[in-house]
Amino acid sequence: MSSEKGMLIVLSGPSGVGKGTVRKAILEDSAIQFKYSVSMTTRQKRMGEQDGVDYFFRTKEQFETEIAQGGMLEYAKYVDNYYGTPLRYVQQTLDAGTDVFLEIEVNGAMQVRQKMPDGVFIFLTPPDLASLRDRIINRGSEDQSTIDKRMDKARQEIKMMSNYDYAVVNDQVSNAVQRIEQIVRSEHLRVPRVIDSYKKMIGDN
Ligand SMILES: Nc1nc2c(ncn2[C@@H]2O[C@H](COP(=O)(O)OP(=O)(O)O)[C@@H](O)[C@H]2O)c(=O)[nH]1
Ligand SMILES: Nc1ncnc2c1ncn2[C@@H]1O[C@H](COP(=O)(O)OP(=O)(O)O)[C@@H](O)[C@H]1O
């Protein structure tokens, strides 16, 4: 029944817009409960990242085996590396009635939209492109040519916003967190999600 299954929340947005920062702030905020689905990737681990926490870091061969075995809900190649969402954790968590939060790029999000159209698709935007570039540079994790590639990709990604349900500006992290929480609360009240419990109440099955 839709009222008892968890809700899938998908957050996308261009590299450097602050998805990771906003996601961590939301998960730390006890006002709203959801589980973060840790993605699998073939990219190099950055300083401070932990396997199984930030990503499951895998080789290209391991990742391709997982794809072949049908273990991925979605996957995409992003700037020369694979990124994807392991299927089992998402399914089990939703089935247990807990909301699941995915932070993924746009191509993967569109695959999820096809498979799980009941999900809530949120696009995180920068206030403008100059601040996006500043954020990528400030993070200091990419060299110049990767920054340029990511800025080109960001322009293409922002065009994909029209495929999402909501646009949230990440001007300040706390504002973005509040906006996303507000969306999630409202989505929980949508009639298709709650109707089953009312049917039970009035005895209409
Ligand atoms: N399709 C897909 N994209 C992902 C997944 N996990 C992360 N990404 C996206 O891959 C892109 C690159 O991620 P990463 O290298 O960690 O860089 P960062 O997110 O810009 O810090 C970002 O847009 C992520 O949101 C996933 O499981 N599937
Ligand atoms: N609202 C914001 N204002 C200013 N800087 C931000 C904001 N949100 C995130 N940042 C900074 O921007 C950089 C990129 O954020 P990150 O979360 O890694 O982005 P993404 O996961 O989208 O690539 C980080 O240095 C982060 O601290």
- Provide mean pLDDT across the span 80-101: 97
Answer for the pair 46, 139: CB distance below 8 angstroms, yes or no. no
Question: Could you give the 3-state DSSP secondary structure of residue 58?
Answer: coil
CA distance 182 to 194: 17
At 158, the amino acid letter reads I
- Residue 7 has a pLDDT of 96
By mean pLDDT, which of 37-51, 54-68, 81-95, 184-198 is the weakest? 184-198
Which residue's CA is the nearest one to ligand 1's atom 23?
105
Helix/strand/coil for 82: strand
- Supply the residue whose CA is at minimum distance from atom 10 of ligand 2: 18
Query: CB of 13 closer than 6 A to ligand 1?
Result: no
pLDDT at 31: 79
Query: Taking 90 as the threshold, does the pLDDT of residue 136 lie above it?
Result: no
Evaluate if residue 2 carries a pLDDT over 60.
Answer: no
- What order of strands is seen across the sheet that includes strand 100-103? 35-36, 100-103, 8-12, 120-125, 166-169
Rounded CA-CA distance 86/203 in Å is 39
Q: List % helix, strand, coil for the chain (3-state, nearest 5).
A: 45, 20, 35
Q: Is 19 annotated in some ligand binding site?
A: yes
Task: Verify whether ligand 2 is closer than 6 Å to residue 48 (CB atom).
Answer: no
Residue 98 has pLDDT above 80, yes or no: yes
pLDDT in tens, 60-88: 999 999 999 999 999 999 879 999 999 99
Closest by CA position to 27, among listed 126, 116, 100? 100
What is the rounded distance in angstroms from the CA atom of residue 102 to the CA atom of residue 27?
Answer: 12
Is 170 touching ligand 2 by the criterion CB < 6 Å? yes
Residue 109: pLDDT over 50? yes
Do residues 176 and 24 lie in contact, with contact meaning Cβ atoms separated by under 8 Å? no
Residue 140 CA, ligand 2 centroid: distance in Å: 11
CA 71 to ligand 2 centroid distance, Å: 30
Residue 203 labelled as part of a binding site: no
Residues in the chain, overall count: 205
Q: Could you tell me if 170 and 125 are in contact, meaning their C-beta atoms sit under 8 angstroms apart?
A: yes
pLDDT tens per residue across span 164-183: 999 999 999 999 999 999 99
- Verify whether ligand 2 is closer than 6 Å to residue 138 (CB atom): yes
Task: Look up the pTM and report it.
Answer: 0.93
Give me Rg for the CA atoms of the chain: 18
Tell me, using a 6 A CB cutoff, whether residue 111 lines ligand 1: no
Separation of CA 175 and ligand 2 centre (Å)? 13
As a whole number of Å, the end-to-end CA separation of the chain is 12
Does position 200 have pLDDT exceeding 90, yes or no? no
> Look-up: residue for tokens 């920054």?
147
- The CATH code belonging to domain 8-37+98-202 is 3.40.50.300
pLDDT interval class at 205 (50, 70, 90): low
Check whether 127 is labelled as a binding-site residue.
no
Please give the share of the chain, as a percent, with pLDDT higher than 90. Answer: 75
Tell me, in angstroms, the distance from the centre of ligand 1 to residue 42's CA.
11
Contact 42, 81 (CB under 8 A): yes
Q: What is the ipTM of this complex?
A: 0.96
- pLDDT for residue 58: 98
**Spacing, Cα 15 to ligand 2 middle (Å):** 9
Q: What average pLDDT does the structure give for the chain?
A: 92
